[in-house]
Amino acid sequence: MQTAVLPRPRLAITPAASLRAALVTALAFFISAFLAIEYSRLSGGVAMVWVSNAVLASRLNALPTRVWPATIAATGIASWLVTGLFGLGWLAAPAMMVINLFEGVVAAAILRRLMKDHWPQDTAEWMAGYSLGIGLFVPVIGAMLAAVIVWLTLGQPMRASFVDWLVGHSLGLLIFLPAGSLLCLAWQTRQPLVPKGNGLRALLLIGVMIVLTIAVFSQIARPLLLFPLLLVLFGAVWANAIVALTLPIILATVGGLMTVLGHGPIADMQLAPTDLHVLAGRLQFFQVYLGITVLAVLPVVAEQERRRRRMLDLANSEARYRLLSDHVSDVIIHMSQRGTIRYASPAITQLTGHVPEQLHGVDFRQIVTEEHRAAVAAAWNAALASPGEPVAVEFLGLPLGGPARWFETHFRAVTNEKGDVDGLVCVTRDIAQRKRIEEDLSRAALTDPLTGIPNRRAFFETAERVGALGVPSALAVVDIDYFKQVNDRYGHAVGDRVLRAFAEAAVAAVRSTDFVARIGGEEFAVLLPDTELVHAEKVCQRLAKAVNALAVDTPQGPVKITISAGIAALGSHPDAALAAADSALYRAKAEGRARLRVAA
């Protein structure tokens, strides 16, 4: 299991701590540069091995940008001193200082940008930026400038200086910068490099690497350079990041030392005509071998880190999901694209009586009434077609051992790391009470509160539907004669009783397919679907007869009423039909009331 690559710290660094960091970095730069100049400056020009700029870049990557100047200044002094005392001399020292600082600062800036934008989720982009930006662009610029300086100060060929600088500085950054950055970040954040419990495995792997490198570079009979590479790749898969990136450094240290001493497979290669050039060629060949090893292991480390973070995110997400689903009243269901239930939260037992474990492998539609299964399937298909967008649907569900109940479900497609749909998550809640309230409100909105029969709005909605059928239909507008006198003589309470009595009588007198509604104070309408005007007139005559027989008891005696009515064909325009029926009603009233008239 890979360990997390430590984040760039956001720590408050005191001036004293900043000074210590600068001095430590400068000292490490000076020592590594001295060793490189002393033991790898084989041609009298530039050193062929150079890790000092990787030291500077690693330290800068771990520090806040605001404290960079102190570290850069201290390292610049160290570079100037080591070049003047042991390297190309005091004349070249200022220019070499600028070049070294350029490489270290730019490499740190590129690494920081790559870590922020592409680590570890974009392995290819990170590797391209690291190898081309840090491993090629930075040392190429430095090599061109250094070759000119060496030619001007020592008169050495620029081509040889360019190649030696490019190979040494490029491979120094590629090989040592990853492990150096991890080491500096761990030191800055005071976090362990190796997770607790993995120390023994890390030591074992490092020990095996040391032994294997010594074994491979102790003989020249067999070319066994592949075996250290295989162990490095093995470590990248099974060890934490710092161990995986330390293995190439062990290979570089042990293998490089033995190669310089004339041991190992590379020491037997004849790469140049003179002994000095042979050693230089062998050293550069070994560095290229190390560079290939590092470039092979870095993508594996990045991919392992990406997978580790992905698994950690999934584990955290699952833990939060389980905690949430176990403690909410809504039912959370995870199912496949085809609707097979993979998981149901415990709340489903309280809501429906079903046991979660018994629903595993069951088609979600099996707990939905047959008439709503198509709507549910359409909703989840819509969710599958638009990942990330919730789709809601209401349906009648089938509780265990009970009547169907209303539920609302929100479907949402779940995608994998490639963006492909992997299934659905739905949140289901009981909306039976809400449905009852909605039905009550809907009924109240379409019902006359006094008489309990449909109101004007309900009448027009029904008339629109009947008119759209295209069959001959009729409507009648009915008015209670002299109703104002009833209110004036007996009071509004009696008037209300008269209205209720009339409504009951009207509903009883008409056919079951007819529709009676109160559309005004004492004005009612009767809708007669699939009825010719002749038959509609007969229905209204029957209604008038029933009303004539009606008597409402009061303390002052029974109240009897009559009605007048206007009848018209419905057609496809209820408003026009109602206006025609009203005209017929006014005609009936004008002719003396208690009569029916049909619109012309």
CB-CB contact of 71 with 63 (8 Å): yes
Average pLDDT of 9-20? 67
Strand partners, 344: 333
Strands 474-480 and 405-415: unpaired
Q: Which amino acid is at 37?
A: I
111-131 confidence digits (pLDDT tens): 988 888 877 677 778 888 888
What angle is formed at CA 159 by the lines to CA 158 and CA 164, rounded to 5 degrees?
A: 100
291-304 confidence digits (pLDDT tens): 888 888 888 887 77
Strands 563-569 and 596-598: parallel
Burial class, 492, CB count within 10 angstroms (exposed 0-12 / middle 13-18 / buried 19+): exposed
The residue assigned the tokens 């004669």 is: 481
CA 166 to chain centroid, in Å, comes to 43
Q: Which amino acid is at 33?
A: A
Burial class, 578, CB count within 10 angstroms (exposed 0-12 / middle 13-18 / buried 19+): buried
Min mean pLDDT across 72-86, 133-147, 405-419, 458-472 is at 405-419
* Alpha carbon distance 566, 557 (integer Å): 30
Whole-number pLDDT of residue 431: 84
Average pLDDT of 146-161? 90
Distances (CA, A) of 166 to 137, 448, 518: 10, 93, 97
Q: At 540, is the pLDDT very low, low, confident or very high (cuts 50, 70, 90)?
A: very high
Average pLDDT of 235-242? 78
Q: At 582, is the pLDDT very low, low, confident or very high (cuts 50, 70, 90)?
A: very high
Min mean pLDDT across 102-116, 147-161, 192-206, 444-458 is at 192-206
Three-state DSSP class for residue 423: strand
CA 507 to chain centroid, in Å, comes to 59
Average pLDDT of 333-340? 87
Whole-number pLDDT of residue 320: 59
Domains, the chain: 15-311 (no CATH), 326-434 (3.30.450.20), 446-598 (3.30.70.270)
Whole-number pLDDT of residue 47: 85
- pLDDT at residue 542 greater than cutoff 90: yes
* Alpha carbon distance 377, 387 (integer Å): 16
Whole-number pLDDT of residue 10: 47
Whole-number pLDDT of residue 3: 43
Whole-number pLDDT of residue 96: 94
Average pLDDT of 454-459? 91
Distances (CA, A) of 134 to 74, 171, 177, 294, 378: 23, 10, 9, 13, 53
Report residue 257 as tokens.
């030392």
HSE-CB of 13 using CA atoms within 13 angstroms: 20
Identify which of 187, 177, 264, 169 has the alpha carbon closest to the alpha carbon of residue 24: 187
Q: How many residues does the chain have?
A: 600
- pLDDT at residue 234 greater than cutoff 80: yes
Whole-number pLDDT of residue 219: 81
Cβ partners under 8 Å of residue 532, min gap 6: 472, 474
24-69 confidence digits (pLDDT tens): 999 999 999 999 898 887 777 888 888 999 999 999 988 888 889 9
Burial class, 396, CB count within 10 angstroms (exposed 0-12 / middle 13-18 / buried 19+): middle
Identify which of 448, 480, 459, 483 has the alpha carbon closest to the alpha carbon of residue 577: 459
Report residue 189 as tokens.
């954040």
Min mean pLDDT across 63-77, 141-155, 404-418 is at 404-418
Strand partners, 363: 340
Min mean pLDDT across 27-36, 167-176, 241-250, 447-456 is at 241-250
CB-CB contact of 561 with 550 (8 Å): yes
Q: Which amino acid is at 286?
A: F
**DSSP secondary structure string for all residues of 247-270:** HHHHIIIIIHHHHHTT-STGGG--
What angle is formed at CA 168 by the lines to CA 152 and CA 286, rounded to 5 degrees?
A: 140
* Alpha carbon distance 587, 195 (integer Å): 99
**Mean pLDDT, rounded, of the chain:** 85
Sign of the alpha-carbon dihedral angle for 71, 77, 82, 88? positive
CB-CB contact of 517 with 454 (8 Å): yes
CB-CB contact of 2 with 240 (8 Å): yes
Whole-number pLDDT of residue 77: 96
Where helices occur in 89-225 by DSSP H, the ranges are 93-117, 123-128, 138-154, 158-189, 199-216
Min mean pLDDT across 206-210, 215-219, 434-438, 529-533 is at 434-438
309-330 confidence digits (pLDDT tens): 777 666 666 655 665 655 567 8
Q: How many CB atoms lie within 10 A of CB 155?
A: 7
